[in-house]
Amino acid sequence: MFIEIGHFAVILALVLSVVGIVSPVLGLKTNRPDWVRIGRQAVTLNFFLVSIGMAAMIYSFLTNDYSVRYVAATSNSKLPIFYKVAGLWGGHEGSLLLWVWILTAYSTLVVWMHWRTQPVTMPYLVSVQSLIMFGFLAMIVFLSNPFERIFPVPLDGKDLNPLLQDPAMVVHPPMLYLGYVGFSIPFAFAMAALFSGRLGEEWIKVTQRWTLFAWMALTTGILMGGYWAYYELGWGGYWGWDPVENASFMPWLVGTAFLHSVMVQEKRKMFKVWNLFLIIVTFSLSLIGTFLVRSGVLSSVHSFATDPGRGLYILVFLSVMLALGFGTLIVRSGKLKSQIELDSIISKESAFLFNNLFFLVAAATVFLVTLYPLLIETLKTAKVSVGPPYYNAVFMPVALGLLLMMGIGPSIAWRKASTDNLKKNFLLPTLIAVIATVAAWLIGIRTVFGMAGALTVSFVASTIFIDFAKISALWARRHEINYLLAFYQAFTNNQRRYAGIVTHIGVLVMVVGIIASTVYQVEKVVPMRIGDTMQLKEYTIRMVGLHEVSGANWTAQEGLFEVYKGEELLTVLRPQKRLYPVSQTPTTEAALYTIHLGHVFLTMPEVGSDSVTVRGLINPLILLVWIGGGIMALGVILNIFRPRMKTP
Amino acid sequence: MIKTWHFVLVIIIAGVLSLFYKGLWGDPRAIPTVLIGTQAPIVSGPEVRTGEMISTGRFQGKVILINFWASWCLECRTEHENLLALNRRFGSNPDFVMLGINYQDREEDARQYLQVNGSNFDHVRDLKGMISIDYGVYGVPETFVIDQKGVIRYKYVGPLVGQAYSYLTESVLQPLLERRPFPSS
Amino acid sequence: MKKNTIIAIFPLILLAAVPLSQSMAATVQEERIDLQMRDIAKTLRCTICQNESIWESQAELAHQMREIIKERLIKGESPDQIRAYFLNRYGDYILLAPQKSGLNWLLWAGPFVLLAGGGLFLYRTLARWVVQAAEEKQEAPPPIDEHLRKRIEAELHSRED
């Protein structure tokens, strides 16, 4: 019964989304404010309706209602409650519902928060958001209906894919969607700006915090996915350049470019068309990401069931959105003329543009490579793969270039950087970077990747340090206070800028983690019996046992491994080879021991009758990858909740 | 006013969309055929049921059909009857020999499979995956046809049923055995 | 007698040392082969898996492929020869880093060409803007007096970067 109510609510939402598209525009054209307001109510009501749909689905999951096809496919009576709820986004139909729900929630928030202050743009925004809603709701209702019943009703569900039965996977998809869908807000504002002709800086100022939030959610979502891959897929890496990973990385790259280049428009009123272009690209890439995952165009670990009909629908919808976005930009941008005021090429304005160039080339590379196999298949009916060895050779240099820009950009002056400014800000960091690189060479870092890393990281780190030191000194002198307080005051006084720097610090920390854990990883795969030992750098690993254990919905072979450093017993690790009987899927559960921000990582890929295969890794400093991610998120939070700028 | 970047943008977007469109109809399982026209690697190993060593070195100058299968492979079951029929039709020809290769399988399972489903030709166990890797096998079932000179002439991925079967018999095996020119694709 | 015993034992010790050093050399050799095998395996795709190299994959086929790499390394084949062996059988699909030939240059050179071309384009555009801005400035009325300008600059300086 509940399911039918939910289903009906979602169908109603589809109808209302049409109202949401049409009525505000009609209201504007015919000058009837009531009609515009109807649009707002439609959006708000849609949030409640889709929420009812969500609630009905969750209810069916919790009550094990296997007459619902989707529940029967992604849940099981033995599944822990935690994962039953997560089952909602464990498959194609349900995750689509979550996508729309997040969209309606965002839209409702935006409409109520900005209705008074943005009366001119709001009607267009409502229309655009409703159009996106319509696209996804129509897909849910007609092609991917999670409310569908089956008959005969199965006795039990087929279970959630065991790989997804993991805390990180419970949070990863919602986070990712908060990011993807979050970009629809600046997108809708940009479209509204284009339609209404209000192409000033207003839309950028209004959407700034929304964009930051979406970016943070996307960043967190991607990193969580990485952490999941790290310990759940069992090969000890966190990023495999899988097409679906790439699909989330592309909007991230362009979104990051957008976050940077809007600052130029705010400060100097330049690059107006460029910023509109960037946000349209960012949101389009979010849609393309959704398309790639669901259409079966690319094979990947994450693909949902493939279905050309569904794929065709998404493609049509995608085409409509792309045509709308870029078409409007092309038609409307002729009227736009940025005031171009540039005093010198050596200035912050151009640093921002070069930053954008690097980000876009990075995004274009990922885009090209993700689609390249498809291109080759179409042109030559041959099959190619492009994997990690390629990215290490091509993407990494571009990424290092970006990193270097991160050192230059924040410290270079607006308008025109004098030689004095350059000397003051960059002479010392350059020296430090050179010294650090030589030092790296001397302590035995000989790989190109490692040395280039040492060079760029030390350069950027020292520019940041000098920046902080200078501003603290200035405030300490001026207000006659101690350095710590001065730093705090200086920081809060221009929190927008310094919160950004905090995010940059997070990036640096992450880069150190990435380089250390890739270049200095030690990895061994050996067969072992009880009593055998394996040496991993300074750690001795001794297998002491192998027994059966079981959980709520799985059984496992669990190995016992003592980890020694010299004579000292550090810990006992218990990697498992699990079997989820319902879906007959085996998984490898890694066991981790954290030491000095790194991991001793053990998995048992194969378990025989008397011997097991053990994969042992030392991943030095790998935790820095996620600590860095945390610092990046912290920087964004500080940015979103910044105090108003005071006059010193 | 139309500018250059408008053109570039439209072309790129149109290109990407048409690529996606093409991609929708592509078969993600389509597999390239690289070995065709090259000298076939020699196959040798124990027969599944008798354990007797078999090597294709013995069959020089004959047309050899090699079929990779496994007991756990459901699609292999659908083509099994056709394989038996194939050997009934061509098996009497002294120029023809047929060989099954048991791929990634347990010996008991393979033996039982043959016992249940019957078989009228020999099957070699692929002990360490050497044979299937030598032939670049992506999955089972896969079928190869080798001509009298020992060159791989035809490869088919998937079960030999319906059109695939009649194409193999009429357009590949028959012409090869009669030493007629063989359609290249 | 003693001397003789020592003299007699000495070659025996040496003899014992031979297999010992051999076995030590063997383990060193084995580790080297394992490392080489890993490097090669990481560049080959597990053809039956989804986006995994044969090093990462736990599939039986990947395991057998790793064994083949090892055997061929022991036989003295070079990594490129081994990759060629797999390439000839499975086609381009098995290489995780596409060959540097033909259309693949789009992948290998594309990003750098884009970076260089984009950089050049950007530099030229910026240079044009600078010239434009300078021209407009000349037409514009004379700026505020020097004293005020210095004060504003000092103020700006203290507020941010």
ipTM: 0.85
Same domain, residue pair C22 and C84:
yes
Q: What is the pLDDT of residue A445?
A: 80
Interchain CB distance below 8 Å, C98 and A358: no
Residue C158 has pLDDT above 70, yes or no: no
Q: What 3-state class would DSSP assign to B106?
A: coil
Find out whether A43 and A108 touch, Cβ atoms under 8 Å: yes
Q: Are B16 and A371 an interchain contact pair (Cβ–Cβ within 8 Å)?
A: yes
Contact assessment for residue A302 and residue A271, using Cβ atoms and an 8 Å cutoff: no
Residue B120: closest CA among B103, B140, B98: B98
Query: Which pLDDT value is given to residue A415?
Result: 79
A273, A274, A330, best to mutate vs chain B, most B CBs in 10 Å = A330
What is the distance between the alpha carbons of residues A557 and A554, in angstroms, rounded to a whole number? 10
- Residue C148 exposed, middle or buried by CB count within 10 Å (0-12, 13-18, 19+): exposed
Task: Name the minimum distance, in Å, from the CA of B75 to any CA of chain C.
Answer: 16
Cβ pair B35, B68 in contact under 8 A: no
Question: Splitting chain A (648 residues) into consecutive groups of 10 residues, what average pLDDT does each group show?
Answer: 91 95 91 90 95 95 91 88 89 90 96 88 93 94 90 84 85 92 94 87 88 95 91 80 88 95 85 90 90 64 56 87 92 72 81 92 93 83 85 90 90 80 86 92 84 92 91 89 88 88 94 89 88 91 92 90 92 92 85 92 86 90 94 94 67
Q: Is C97 in Cβ contact with A368 (below 8 Å)?
A: no
The tokens describing A351, both together, are 């640093």
Q: What is residue A622's predicted lDDT score, i.e. its pLDDT?
A: 93
Which sign, positive or negative, has the C-alpha torsion A388, A392, A394, A400?
Answer: positive
pLDDT in the model for residue C28? 76
- Comparing B23 with C46, the larger pLDDT belongs to C46
Q: Taking the CA atoms of chain B, what radius of gyration do you get in angstroms?
A: 21
Q: Do B34 and C88 touch (CB under 8 A)?
A: yes
| d(CA A308, nearest CA chain B) in Å | 6
Does residue C87 share a domain with residue C10?
A: yes
Distance of CA B113 to the CA centre of its chain: 20
Contact A390 C97 (CB under 8 A): yes
Calculate the alpha carbon distances from A327 to A124, A155, A331, B11 in Å.
16, 52, 6, 12
Which chains lie within 8 Å of chain A at 3 or more CB pairs, if any? B, C
Query: In one letter, which amino acid is B119?
Result: S
C130 and A243 in contact by Cβ < 8 A?
Answer: no
- Residue where the block lists tokens 């990779």: B68
- Which residues have CB under 8 Å from B166's CB, separation 6+? none
Are residues C104 and C93 part of one domain?
Answer: no
Q: Which pLDDT score, from 0 to 100, does residue A103 have?
A: 96
User: Where among C46, C74, C97 does a domain terminate?
Assistant: C97
| 3 state DSSP class of A616 | strand
**Residue C129 belongs to what domain range?**
100-161
Chain B residues in contact with C93 (beta carbon < 8 A): 31-32
Burial class of C155 by CB neighbour count within 10 A (0 to 12, 13 to 18, 19+): exposed
Q: Which residues of A236-255 are buried (b: 16+ CB within 10 A; e: fewer)?
A: bbbbbbbbbbbbbbbbbbbb
B interface test, pick of A301, A378, A379, A380 with most B CB neighbours within 10 Å: A378
Look at residues A295, A257, C72 and name the one whose alpha carbon lies nearest to residue B130.
Answer: C72
Is the CB of residue B86 less than 8 Å from the CB of residue B65? Answer: yes
Is the domain spanning B34-177 CATH 2.130.10.10? The answer is no
**Cα(B84)–Cα(B99) distance, integer angstroms:** 11
Higher pLDDT residue, B30 or C49?
C49
Contact of A295 with B19, CB cutoff 8 Å: no
Report pLDDT digits (tens) over B53-100.
888 888 888 899 999 998 888 888 888 988 999 898 888 888 899 999
Domain total in chain C: 2
Cα angle: A142, vertex A146, A147; to 5 degrees: 90
Task: Mark which of C73, C97, C121 sits at the end of a domain.
Answer: C97
Chain CA centroid to CA A291, Å: 16
What pLDDT is attached to residue A13?
96
Size of interface A-B (CB pairs under 8 A): 54
Has residue B185 got a pLDDT over 50? no
Residues of C with Cβ-Cβ distance to B133 under 8 angstroms = 61, 64-65, 68, 86, 89
CB contacts of C83 in chain B (<8 Å) are none
- Within 379-408 of A, beta carbons closer than 8 Å to C belong to 379-380, 382-390, 393-395, 397-398, 401
Domain borders along chain A are 1-165, 211-306+330-417, 419-518+625-640, 522-619
Residue environment code for A33-50, b if the CB has 16+ CB neighbours within 10 A, otherwise e: eebbbbbbebbbbbbebb
Give phi and psi for A445, each to the nearest 5. -85, 110
Q: Distance between alpha carbon B4 and the CA centroid of its chain, in Å?
A: 51
Question: Which alpha helices (H) appear in A556-622, and where do they start and end?
Answer: none
The answer to whether the Cβ–Cβ distance between C51 and A497 falls below 8 Å is: no
Q: Which amino acid is at A488?
A: Y
Question: Same domain for C85 and C124?
Answer: no
Preferred mutation among B10, B12, B20, B27 to probe A, highest tally of A CBs within 10 A: B20
Same domain (yes/no): C107, C84: no
Chain B residues within 8 Å of chain A (Cβ atoms)? 1, 6, 9-10, 13, 16-17, 19-26, 28, 30-32
Q: Smallest Cβ distance to C50: which of A300, A340, A497?
A: A300
pLDDT at B6: 86
Q: What share of chain B is helix, strand, coil (3-state, %, to 5)?
A: 40, 20, 40
pLDDT computed for residue C161 by the predictor: 47
Strand partners, B45: B54
Residue C32 one-letter amino acid: R
Q: Which amino acid is at B40?
A: A
Nearest-Cα distance to chain B for C141, in Å, is 32
State residue C15's pLDDT score: 55
What's the whole-number average pLDDT of chain C?
78
In whole angstroms, give the CA distance from residue A541 to residue A564. Answer: 6
Q: Are residues C88 and C10 in the same domain?
A: yes
Beta strand B152-157 with A568-573 is unpaired
Q: Which amino acid is at A96?
A: L
3-state secondary structure of B81: helix
Q: Residue A346: its pLDDT value, please?
A: 83
The predicted structure's pLDDT at residue A1? 77
Distance (Å, whole) CA A572 – CA A558: 12
Q: What percent of chain C has pLDDT over 70?
A: 72
pLDDT at A300: 42
A121 CB neighbour count, 10 Å cutoff? 22
What mean pLDDT is predicted for residues B144-169?
88
If asked whether residues C10 and C83 sit together in one domain, one would say yes
- On whether both C49 and C106 belong to a single domain, the answer is no
